[in-house]
């Protein structure tokens, strides 16, 4: 809605000026035409002295993202995991795998209560513990039956922990977590990578009851390590569709259209060039206006390009999303158009006189 208001203001602003009598740079008097919008309008002629104030490029990638608890990863066993336990020099305690059975098929499943059964010592706690902690616990219990037991415990079936990747990735999926840490970028790659419509700067990560905004684009472009956090069990990652960011070009240009600013910074001169430039003999190069809605009101920037070198200034003026660029009509062209519209009447009058 604000975009249409800005476009309407642009048309009202220039329509309220009689360009056969207008002096450039534009004074503030024509701005009275838009007082009914109940907003202040500031006109700023662009000069070599002030152009540096408008040369800063938009930061397409954001700042640092901090997601608590994402600095390291140490797998902890959960219900449903399969454990392989080996007690060296005691084959009677080693689960036989057989020729056609894998360690996962012959392993010990952690039950819903978080324990698994082992001969001689009964139920052994496992849920929430690392394999190393389970090994030490089992070693202590077996010591009552075996002198100095040498025990190895490893996870051969990772079933209890996972993360979900949704949104604008090519193959949204659920990915199991293993002993190897998985970063956000690795999980996105494992989901087929980003689609063409993905917005990596707006990724969200839901962990427990909290939602975090993660700017993955900042990691890809600037190497901000905290923006590529290590994922934890239960994390849900969503990659949103990118929101189109446009500026509008109107008036005496070759093609009235929009300019896409979603993924790149574009200067005023670039924007005019991409639409074919100004209409020859119709545009008033003195009247290139950029209308911008700000918190303080509407600001109108004017580029007087009657001297072509002024377009060099335009290469340093950065266009923002929702800007309206308007090029006014040359006074001579408006006069010629008026005369042309009167020609049929003039012809008719002459014919009547001849009669």
- Considering the domain architecture, whether residues 333 and 291 belong to the same structural domain is answered as yes
**Quick one: tokens of 296?**
């303080």
Domain hosting 291: range is 245-338
Better-predicted residue by pLDDT, 14 or 240: 240
**Residue 229 lies inside a defined structural domain of this protein:** yes
- Cα 97 to Cα 121, 182, 195, 314: the distances in Å are 21, 30, 44, 75
CATH number at residue 93: 3.30.1950.10
- pLDDT of residue 34 exceeding 50, the answer is no
Which of 110, 136, 157 is the endpoint of a domain? 157
pLDDT in tens, 289-301: 999 988 888 889 9
168 and 212 in one domain?
A: yes
Asked if the model's pLDDT at residue 65 lies above 60, the reply is: yes
Instruction: Name the phi and psi angles at 267, rounded to 5.
Output: -85, 170
Greater model confidence, 352 or 136:
136
Tell me, yes or no, if the pTM score tops 0.95.
Answer: no
Average pLDDT, the chain: 82
Say if residue 257 is in the same domain as residue 280.
Answer: yes
Query: Is the domain of 217 the same as that of 141?
Result: no
> Do 214 and 200 contact (CB within 8 A), yes or no?
no
Q: Among 100, 134, 157, which residue terminates a domain? A: 157
Q: What are the pLDDT digits (tens) for 191-218?
A: 999 999 999 989 999 998 899 999 999 8
CA distance 131 to 137: 10
Q: Mind listing the pLDDT tens digit for each residue in 117-174?
A: 998 889 999 999 999 999 999 999 998 888 888 999 999 999 999 999 999 999 999 9
Structurally, the chain folds into a number of domains equal to 3
CB 347 within 8 A of CB 340: no
Higher pLDDT, 81 or 14: 81
Domain boundary, last residue among 104, 138, 157: 157
């Amino acid at each position: 809605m604000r975009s249409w208001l800005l476009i309407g203001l642009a048309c009202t602003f220039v329509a309220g000026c009689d360009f056969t009598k207008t002096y450039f740079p534009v004074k503030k008097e024509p701005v009275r035409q838009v007082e009914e919008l109940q907003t202040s309008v500031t006109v700023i002629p662009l000069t070599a002295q002030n152009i540096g104030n408008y040369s800063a490029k938009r930061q397409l990638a954001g700042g640092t993202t901090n997601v608590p608890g994402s600095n390291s990863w140490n797998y902890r066993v959960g219900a449903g995991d399969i454990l392989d336990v080996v007690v060296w020099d005691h084959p009677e305690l080693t689960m036989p795998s057989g020729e056609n059975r894998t360690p996962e098929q012959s392993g010990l499943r952690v039950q819903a209560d978080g324990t698994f059964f082992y001969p001689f010592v009964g139920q052994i706690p496992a849920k929430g513990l690392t394999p190393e902690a389970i090994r030490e616990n089992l070693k202590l219990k077996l010591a009552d039956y075996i002198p100095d037991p040498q025990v190895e415990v490893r996870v051969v079936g990772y079933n209890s922990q996972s993360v979900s990747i949704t949104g604008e990735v090519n193959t949204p999926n659920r990915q199991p977590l293993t002993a190897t840490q998985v970063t956000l970028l690795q999980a996105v790659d494992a989901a087929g990578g980003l689609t063409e419509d993905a917005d990596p700067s707006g990724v969200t990560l839901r962990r427990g009851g909290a939602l975090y905004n993660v700017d993955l684009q900042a990691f890809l472009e600037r190497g901000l390590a905290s923006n590529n956090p290590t994922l934890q069990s239960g994390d849900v990652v969503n990659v949103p569709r990118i929101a189109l960011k446009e500026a509008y070009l109107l008036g005496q240009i070759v093609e009235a259209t929009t300019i896409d600013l979603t993924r790149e910074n574009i200067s005023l001169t670039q924007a005019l060039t991409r639409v074919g430039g100004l209409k020859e003999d119709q545009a008033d190069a003195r009247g290139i206006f950029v209308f911008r809605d700000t918190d303080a009101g509407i600001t109108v920037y004017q580029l007087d390009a009657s001297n072509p070198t002024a377009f060099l200034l335009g290469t340093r003026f950065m266009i923002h999303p929702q800007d309206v660029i308007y090029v006014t009509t040359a006074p001579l062209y408006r006069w010629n158009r008026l005369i042309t519209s009167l020609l049929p009447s003039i012809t008719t009058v002459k014919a009547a006189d001849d009669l």
